[in-house]
Structure 1
Amino acid sequence: MTKLLEQAVARVRALPADQQDEFARVLLRLAGDDGPVYQLTPEENASLAGSLAEAERGEFATDEQVQAVWAKYNR
């Protein structure tokens, strides 16, 4: 490891864990690791699986439901 990289790692070690993880993801991407950028929590993974299953069954929001959501946030 070069001296510059050692200095960078030492500085990153002093950061909070969530910031360390962000730096690690960037470094891994730069090094050619194409792994997932964000790790889903078990709850997020379950929600995503449910959403994908709904989509496969053709269960989508109606136009009226979508318009209601837009109206709620476009005030």
Structure 2
Amino acid sequence: MTMLLDKAVEALRRLPPNTQDTVAQAILLLAQDDALADIAPEHLPYILEGLAEIERGEFATDEEAEAAFRSFER
């Protein structure tokens, strides 16, 4: 495991369990062999910005995350 990944995991340990699970699901999805091939080039800047926010320790609150997920409900 790289030092950056170790740092990210340590930051995730400080998050609430439900937020940890959400991030873990995203990591598992990205870790699939073909997951990166599915990223549209126009989405890459947003993904990179999100990763930079994580590195800076900028996380959404539980309320913000729940609101974002609710916005996808039909």
TM-score class, shorter-chain normalisation, is: 0.3 to 0.5
TM score, norm. by length of structure 1:
0.42
Higher relative contact order (CA 8 A, sep 6+): 2
TM-score by length of 2: 0.43
